[in-house]
Amino acid sequence: MNANSSIPNKLFNIPIEDLKPGEPSKVYLEQYKLYLTFIDKIADRRQSANSYFLTLNTGICAALAYFFSKDAHPDIKDLYLILPVAGLILSYFWQRLVGSYRQLSSGKYEIVHAIEKHLPIAPYTAEWDVLGYGDKPTKYKPLTHVEVWVPRLFIIMYAVVLLYLSPWSKLPLQIK
């Protein structure tokens, strides 16, 4: 958790001294529950975005496989360079989106931890402590640390396909 001391000053609209730890008001609890709901919605949007990008990349891979098949019409085979370039661009933006969701989630959980300092229990703070704050991969590896590798692997694959398809990759064969 980031030791950002300005969070309570920006989070609470009443003086922090007026909050009684362990005795939150009903409004305070409702706002906390609502905020946790927003975090769940962000996770749902993140999953939808990952599914969308994975589907698009799967389609590009299928189209590439078709272009390399015997059944592909010769006229469309000239378009085969467009697909890996499109896949590279798509995967780059996917990787950036994963990073953005990671930053957004981190910020939201900093707020949750600040709120929990004034609640009778702090389940998210305790859970994060048990998991080693995401710094101990043997205890817990944050999802985004794994998730970011999916678009990176597509980027690597598309780069290899582009290198394979590029005219200069066949130069040594033509020289002989």
CA 134/CA 139 separation, integer angstroms: 8
pLDDT of residue 23: 67
pLDDT of residue 174: 53
The answer to whether 32 and 115 have CB atoms below 8 angstroms apart is yes
The answer to whether 39 and 106 have CB atoms below 8 angstroms apart is no
The candidate with the shortest Cα–Cα distance to 1, out of 94, 111, 93, 136, is 111
**Extents of the domains making up the chain:** 22-165
The answer to whether 104 and 98 have CB atoms below 8 angstroms apart is no
pLDDT of residue 1: 46
Across residues 15-24, what is the average pLDDT?
Answer: 67
The answer to whether 128 and 109 have CB atoms below 8 angstroms apart is yes
pLDDT of residue 120: 82
pLDDT of residue 118: 81
The 3-state secondary structure of 67-129, one letter per residue: HCCCCCCHHHHCCCCHHHHHHHHHHHHHHHHHHHHHHHHHHHHHHHHHHHCCCCCCHHHHHHH
Across residues 127-152, what is the average pLDDT?
Answer: 87
Q: How far is CA 29 from CA 21, 26, 140, in A?
A: 12, 5, 29
Across residues 27-46, what is the average pLDDT?
Answer: 91
